[in-house]
Amino acid sequence: MATKTRKQSTTYRCSECGWTTAKWVGRCGECQAWGTVQETGSDRELGRTRAASTVAAPAQPIVAVDSSVAQFTPTHVQELDRVLGGGLVPGAVILLAGEPGVGKSTLLLDAAAKVAGGASPRTVLYVTGEESAAQVKLRAERINALSDSLYLAAESDLSAALAQVEALSPELLVVDSVQTLASPEIEGSAGGVSQVREVAASLIHAAKTRNMTTLLVGHVTKEGSIAGPRLLEHLVDVVCQFEGDKHSRIRLLRAVKNRFGPTDEVGCFDLEENGIRSVSDPSGLFVSRTPVPVAGTCLSVTVEGRRPLLAEVQALLDRSSTAQPRRATSGLDSSRVAMLLAVLQRRAGVALASMDCYVSTVGGVRLTEPATDLAVCMALASAAQDRPLPQRLVCFGEIGLAGEVRPVPEINRRIQEVARLGFTHAVVPASPSGPGKIPTGFSVREVTTVGQAMELLFPPRPA
């Protein structure tokens, strides 16, 4: 008697994000891209694995597991170690993403050279798919990143790169970048969803089986997210974002995901002509150096990760020559600045409706924390009245639509930081717990509304 075979179903996959569906659609249901869903072939009938053939390593009690093999090893790049939680972990796979030209290759080449040439030299393999070995050597000479234990390989074929790993057995592998490697066994060009998935899976398998730390460089999309399938971020152990303005030397490294340490640390780097260096105390980088007070400037303290940073907000107002006044921002969220302009006009009586407003930060830093709202408002009020704020003063606090100044986290930590930098006055939001211990010689004034802050900082001029 003939048995009926189940008809194999055709599947369709999005070439951008890897989303699959049983029928063809014109628009991806995951990433909403048009025209990217393509037929991938037939699915085999699902079976069920009932038993393993052999056990490679028997299970053991968790207390008997040797954790010494997963200890941190410093890279001797101070800010990189800070973000990673202490350094590199053997067998860990780290993905570093950032825009082109931000300095990803320079940072990893410097770290690779320091790992290879440290007190206890280790073998490091740097696989480049975007440049030739000679080009990497020129950059290494420029930033003084040379070491006898650092090996270069210009490969774009995954099997060739794995052969280099097999022959050299490095303790650290750097792949620049994961989107340039391709496997000949997978259809599609390098950088496609299938290729990136295969390359990442092969490199992760090699890293885990060899206990080899692996650093992967990843590209970003126009929206700033990591290119390739989201599966890539789930497979790796650490995901870091390297960001900064191309017109500024300051670069920030953030950990988006970290299985071995915190995800709220931020590393600061200075990208120079001769390389990249760690900046352990970046507070002074985002403050202008004017000899006399200038109207329209106010200092604030923002917390990036666990690190309080001193930043300066500048505002410039001019009477508009058009019916629609201009609103321009740099380093700040434009929609939030527009909200603060409305609050100032409605709740504090500052006439700004007919003024062109330009608000910017100093040093190319981007301020996203709501704690800088009070500094933005005071800078705008200072520019509107053409009266500079007192010297050695900082302001921070979140402002609501009702004009209230709301408490922010880490008030005492911010005060301690600005006191260390030589400031003597602070205007902070009132909180039930208070500002905490105040340093000697430091004055703190608590406010509850933006109008109260203006009365404090801009008292009426004597008649």
CA distance 326 to 215: 45
* Least trusted range by pLDDT, from 334-348, 352-366, 380-394: 352-366
Return the residue matching tokens 């090893």: 73
Which residues are paired to 357 by β-bridges? Answer: 317, 327
Confidence of residue 50 (pLDDT cuts 50, 70, 90): low
Confidence of residue 223 (pLDDT cuts 50, 70, 90): low
pLDDT digits (tens, 9 = 90+) for 149-201: 999 999 999 999 999 999 999 999 999 989 999 998 888 788 888 888 899 99
Binding residues: 98-105
Whether residue 43 has pLDDT greater than 80: no
For residue 45, what pLDDT is reported? 37
For residue 224, what pLDDT is reported? 65
Portions of the chain given CATH number 3.40.50.300: 69-280
Greater model confidence, 62 or 33: 62
CA distance 189 to 53: 36
For residue 336, what pLDDT is reported? 96
CA distance 233 to 239: 7
For residue 47, what pLDDT is reported? 45
User: Three-state SS for 168?
Assistant: helix
Whether residue 227 has pLDDT greater than 70: no
CA distance 436 to 267: 27
For residue 36, what pLDDT is reported? 79
Binding residues for ATP: 98-105
- Kindly list the distances between the CA atom of residue 216 and the CA atoms of 110, 178, 200, 232, 279, in Å, as whole numbers in the listed order: 15, 6, 9, 11, 23
pLDDT digits (tens, 9 = 90+) for 291-333: 788 999 999 999 987 788 899 999 999 999 888 999 999 999 9
Whether residue 4 has pLDDT greater than 90: no
Whether residue 235 has pLDDT greater than 60: yes
Report percent pLDDT > 70 for the chain.
92
In one-letter notation, the amino acid at residue 214 is T
In one-letter notation, the amino acid at residue 310 is L
CA distance 384 to 280: 36
Other residues' Cβ atoms within 10 Å of the Cβ of residue 406: 17
CA distance 153 to 43: 38
Greater model confidence, 364 or 129: 129
Average pLDDT over residues 394-422: 94
Mean pLDDT of the chain: 87
Whether residue 365 has pLDDT greater than 90: no
CA distance 346 to 343: 5
CA distance 75 to 114: 6
Portions of the chain given CATH number 3.30.230.10: 285-457
Stretch (H or E) spanning 234: helix 231-235
Report percent pLDDT > 90 for the chain.
57
For residue 263, what pLDDT is reported? 84
- Phi, psi angles (nearest 5°) of residue 72: -70, 140
CA distance 231 to 31: 14
Architecture of domain 285-457: 2-Layer Sandwich (3.30)
For residue 408, what pLDDT is reported? 95
Architecture of domain 69-280: 3-Layer(aba) Sandwich (3.40)
For residue 14, what pLDDT is reported? 80
CA distance 84 to 101: 22
Whether residue 121 has pLDDT greater than 90: no
For residue 442, what pLDDT is reported? 95
Other residues' Cβ atoms within 10 Å of the Cβ of residue 156: 14
Greater model confidence, 187 or 214: 214
pLDDT digits (tens, 9 = 90+) for 56-103: 678 889 888 887 777 899 999 999 999 999 999 999 999 999 888 889
CA distance 359 to 375: 11
Describe the crossing of helices 193-210 and 158-168 by its angle, rounded to 10 degrees.
10
* Least trusted range by pLDDT, from 69-83, 151-165, 214-228, 384-398: 214-228
DSSP, residue by residue, 79-90 = HHHHHHTSSB-T
Whole-structure pTM value: 0.76
Whether residue 245 has pLDDT greater than 80: no
Beta carbons within 8 Å of 390's beta carbon, 6+ residues apart: 293, 425, 457
